[in-house]
Structure 1
């Protein structure tokens, strides 16, 4: 069992280890204590992990899906990997496609797509393109810290505003308010809606769960700022982690309702593929006394498994604990005057106009 004092534990990171994927045959290794001491005597203590960014230039930027249980059919992810380091992130396993670990590599070895806006412009300019809302932040956060340097998300929004193309944004960061000028104009044309995830109101717990995310207070404040400029917002109380974060459900709903938020929702913890062992390791580090209870409840709402990958049911847990969470959520929404808590945003696709290419107006 690891603890925060373990020599391999990286403070300020979500994962307690690399969490190498075995599905793709990646090599694994384990450094024993004697060898570690020998290496440290020669080279000194291990160097603290730093975040690195690799620029990649894909050929396409829009990803289309036919999943029957998600409310969008196309998305853009400006970045691969995410420095926020949320231990529960369902996107972690995708880093194995790069022969990198879903654990610490996912948080520290990032990829950026500087030509994303250029590719989007070319896609939207195609004659056969038909607009539907583009979802930003469906895999990794579009406003993670490196957005300050790369501004890829902002460039994407600029293209969408020019083309009058609707967009939805999902983020855990108050950095979204840095693009308030664009969002305000897009909102005035019914072209944007923003969902901000608030997992807990406890900053100490947040620093363990999502160590490089802005504090919960900043995210709540961001919801209020967006409401002030007329941007439709949704508060996602996700994921709900039994016996860890579920106690904050009612207080989060009460807090955001006081700001004028009219749409809230929740999603239970999902532990696909390598996320499950990483999360179990996280429990052993931070909450060893309740690890068994947490996983027992998780498995009870997932039909005896750590994760349910099936369409529809993956978002809708079953069992007594799931029914209890639903009842608590429904009652809290009613008390706060938020109705049934479902997101209902009417974004307008009728204004779409193909963007200019190469500085020339399209003739056809």
Structure 2
């Protein structure tokens, strides 16, 4: 682990309001510099007396250090250029994210699919069908690993060979519910699992509304499949709307109590959705904004395209030599990542970022971990 990782762990463990700690990182440029600045700078940033005392005395949590030492683990702080651009725009972004799996998926264009923990057979069918269609359109699926609709969305995305991100309301090493422990491991291996809580943190009721703001914040839009009048899914939808994101709701039978939350959302201004293509069309301009942010992150001279569904056949390729090598390595037949790395000579990190950008630009399609040029 780096010095910045250890310092960021101490900042996370200090607890309290995250705004002052984000301001401290902005002022100092990084976690190690923030700790070295000392109590006067901490107080000037607005840290409370308890936070200042914690930073003076507490060592980095040993359990969190052990967790981070394992492969495919990452602590992503507010100061980090890899911190997801969409999440920066919400009202109260987390100070840091613990990530297990593919951290680049936090920049992948995703739709949040949420709903009741006790869906009807029809609700499950709708969640599965929309998930498969959205994955085929190149979108990832974000949800909260809860029983019911969340579980259907995650498993559907994995089955379709798509990207999925699970956001937890507990420590990233604490499966909740326990019945989803196997699914959690599968998502960590094939997608990404995210938490703002230190490893070892138990699930608590008050954590879940905060968890929902991250689900909404990482996603271009939120689809509510089935929800009762009082439901955590409605909290996610409200938070998505507050963040300026699209909110979609599936209508249902007036006799289905699990449709009442969706009907309430529609009355309050959510978009009534009947087909997945309606979501893809609505989100194309927002996905373009994400593509622009990713270009800035990579500093790649890539031409702007109009929307994720634009035709790019006549758009010139960027002059970047790494991009040219990777493009030459991608054929019309699907190729796995290791083959592309061998052909191009690029590292996994560089190739993954460029492949994501090519997907956003509509040049490349990905299915079951294999990449090919878009026909």
TM-score, normalization by structure 2: 0.28
Q: TM-score, normalised by structure 1?
A: 0.28
Q: Which has the higher contact order (CA 8 A, sep 6+)?
A: 1
